[in-house]
Amino acid sequence: MTTPIVLTLNAGSSSLKFGVYDISEAPSQLAVGLVERIGGQPQLKADLGGLDGKVRQELAPEEARDHKSALGTALALLRKRFPHLHAAAVGHRVVHGGPKYTLPVHVTPQVLDELRAFSPFAPIHQPHNISGIEAALEAFPDALQVACFDTAFHRHQPKVNDEFALPREYYDKGVRRYGFHGLSYEYVAGELKRFAPLLYEGRVVIAHLGNGASMCGMLGGRSVASTMGFTALDGLPMGTRTGQIDPGVIFYMVQQEGKTIDEVRDLFYTQSGLLGISGLSNDMRTLEAAGTPEAKEAIDYFVFRARRELGGLAAALGGLDALVFCGGIGENSRYIRQRICEGLDWIGIELDRERNEGNERRINGSFSRTHVLVVPTNEELVIARAAKALLAEETQA
């Protein structure tokens, strides 16, 4: 009997993350991997399971010149390990679902056209997500293609946290706060419900800190407010993105410096954030090790903005019962977690240095009124679960 398989794809601007899941019962990971530097000097990294399953190899440019060829290269590797690989469903991370999509959806030609129409809302991400879907449609024409949206988790926010102070017509056109990283928040919320149900029902801020960074305030497991807005550019400073910025800066750059809108967009998305301030790197690990004044300034700004956003989210929630760190920085940087939590006794946070250094799940002190947790996220598992559920619905229909 053939094992039912779900393939998960997360297509970035120059990367393609993939996973293989057995869905005969609860989804279990069989393999995971990443093709990065697509269109440049590509590299493939994968864990195919077993003692000999670790793969790391440089690729020829033609093996990953675009997402289609990158997927072909990844599938060739997977089929060596799993000769009879056949995906019953392919689950895709799609950054923007617009105001319409609040749940995972079967990707039909009509749905794909609607997702293309949302590209102006997420110009750096959406076109690449769509490229991943198109590549998978060609590679697995008989599989159920499932889109899972980063915006969906936030679509039930109160309207006061959803709208801008613009003429009402713009809200109707879709110009509103969407929030992102929803697949990560959904996973962490599910983990809280599993091992800390009372906290899940309470006032929780999840800090998804990585190259892309945001924070979400939850009440009863539902998003109430988040730091990202109309695009994934707002809120916290990120690896190469500005985070919150006065829109007047755009007017200045266009009117006084003669920059085009495309140049400003590229500056805000790819040359700013930690990289822009430090002049060195978008990688927090590099900045922590560098010790230069510019690197320190970048870290200080990141910490300051995180603390400021935490205070705002706590106000929106009417208090705070738990702060949860996830994402590459949140899960691994003991220093950044310590810096963010310092001096927050006014909000009930007392960090336990030893627990934090030991990277334990609970890192607050014994007398801390507010719980502080580290919960590794798993967006791919959320996608696999959603694909399995939709596959079951389609089969029964």
Catalytic residues: 150
Q: How far is CA 73 from CA 19, 45, 58, 145, in A?
A: 14, 12, 12, 20
207 forms beta bridges with 215, 325
Q: How far is CA 136 from CA 107, 118, 215, 217, in A?
A: 11, 20, 31, 34
Q: How far apart are CA 308 and CA 164, in angstroms?
A: 20
The SS3 of residue 357 is helix
Question: 372 phi and psi, to 5 degrees?
Answer: -125, 120
Q: How far is CA 336 from CA 138, 204, 294, 342, 356, in A?
A: 43, 19, 16, 10, 10
In the sheet that holds 222-226, the strands lie side by side as 222-226, 214-219, 203-208, 322-326, 371-374
The SS3 of residue 255 is helix
Asked whether the beta carbons of 274 and 328 are under 8 A apart, the reply is no
Q: How far is CA 41 from CA 47, 60, 68, 113, 227, in A?
A: 21, 7, 16, 31, 34
Asked whether the beta carbons of 233 and 241 are under 8 A apart, the reply is yes
